[in-house]
Structure formats: C-alpha cells, structure tokens
Amino acid sequence: MTDTKRFDGKVTLVTGAAGNIGLATAERLAASGSAIALLDLGGAKLDDAVAKVARAGVTARGYACDVTDAAQVQEIVDRVVADFGRIDFLFNNAGYQGAFAPVHAYPTEDFSRVMTINVCGAFHVLQAVARHMVGRNFGRIVNTASMAGVGGPPNMAGYAASKFAIVGLTQTASKDLAPYNIRVNAISPAFMGPGFMWDRQVELQAKAGSQYFSSDPKVVAEQMINSVPMRRYGDITEIPGVVEFLLGDDSSYMTGVNLPIAGGIL
C-alpha cells in the first residue's frame, strides 16, 4: 500500500467494485486519498466493500447498478456526480468470465451474455462517464481487458472476443477523447490467484476436454503456471498499483496503451 495521498481531492468510480480486483483497487486508491464511488449489482458484498474502503478515511458510497442497462448507468453516473461533485477517474472493471467449451460447442446464449456484460456494459459506463469528463476537459480511464484479449486461449470464445473488443474500445476511445484531456488505457491480467476465478478456470478447462490441457485440474494448474515465464500466477494485489500508475501523473504521456500484468506472457 502506498503511504502517500497523491489522489487527495480526487473522485474515482470503480465498477465491479465488490469483486476481488475491483475492491483491491478501490482500497489502494482510497489509501492514496481518493474518494470512491463503488458500483456493482448490490447486496451484502457491495455493502461490505464500501465499509472496507471507508476504513481509509475517505468518502465511500455504493451504487447498485446493472451495467448492461444504458439508461440505468447514465442515471447512476449522474447520481455519483451529484453526490461527489465530479468524477476524475474511472476504473471500468465489471465483467463475466463465461463458459468454457470449444467454439463449435460454445453455448450461444452464454456468448451473448459475455459480450453484453463485458463489452456493452463497459461501453455504457465509459460513454456516460466520458460525457461528464468532456464537459470538464479532464479525465483518466482504465479499462480491464485481459491477456485473453491479446492471444485467445482455447475454450474461451466469449471471454476472448469480449476482451479483444475492450482493447479496441480503449484504443478508439483514447483517440476520440484525447482532445478533451482525457486519457484512456487498459490493463490485461493473465493468470491471477488464488481464489474463485483461478479455481474456476482450472476446473472448467479440465472439464472442457482439449489437446491443450489435462482432464485433471491439478495438472491443468501446473500447465498454466508452467506457461508463465515467472512460473507463478499473479496475486490480486499486483493489479491495483498498475491501475494507480495509469490514473496518475507518472503516466501523463500514455494513452491508448494496454499494459500486461502477466508474469512475462506476451
């Protein structure tokens, strides 16, 4: 954790804020002094996340929102602006991993769901926040992509397609918003663990059946780690510092960039 208050007076909106990456990043930015608006589907997990972020001594508020509903997103963004006075930073992080199956057997309804949440949802949030930032002639946006959107993994057609789209959205938005002093970048985590997402990916790749992975989850875990030059999965706590860098002034001449957090996977 940083012990500086480099973001004193700033306001950050975090989506997917009740999840591991969203919460860890919200806590990091709060420790740097930013007030935090936490956006997620609602419920006890969101309430708990707000309480954890507030421990840093900053203003933290939770907002229940379905990012796939563009009208609802705009309403919530307007409410955040009314509550906090402005939005300086956006960590556009909400997402869904989807099913694991070869492309010829991938469930059509799940593909649509992944694209709706990961692409349409990210676009809705980015657009609504950008409208506000354009009016202020200032903003910093970080989208959560994935190494799945850099080199498509087997059995993950929906997730890979959605994250390739996020990289493209980031690049286009960075050009469209550059005249308004708004920078837009992305991060691409690879294998992150331990926890639910790591276990789920290992188990479902084992069940999917392919020439790329064993049917034994323990062996799949070894295969995945052996594909990483650093020979380990990343820790969730290794993500927030990269987001903080991209939001801060140390990256002032960077926009349209997708930074891998991947242990050497390129």
Which strands form 89-92's sheet, in the order they lie side by side? 60-64, 35-40, 11-15, 89-92, 139-144, 182-189, 258-261
Q: Which of 124, 166, 146, 111 shows the shortest CA–CA distance to 39?
A: 124
CA atoms within 13 A on the CB side of 97: 19
Among the residues of the chain, which ranges form H helices? 20-31, 44-54, 70-84, 108-115, 121-136, 157-177, 196-208, 217-226, 240-247
Q: How many CB atoms lie within 10 A of CB 71?
A: 9
- The SS3 call for residue 10 is coil
> What positions carry a catalytic annotation?
159
**Six token digits for residue 172:** 């286009």
30/57 Cα distance (integer angstroms)? 8
| H-run or E-run covering 186 | strand 182-189
What backbone torsions phi and psi does residue 60 show, to the nearest 5 degrees? -135, 130
Q: How many CB atoms lie within 10 A of CB 72?
A: 15
242/32 Cα distance (integer angstroms)? 13
Please give the span between the terminal C-alpha atoms of the chain, in angstroms, as a whole number.
27
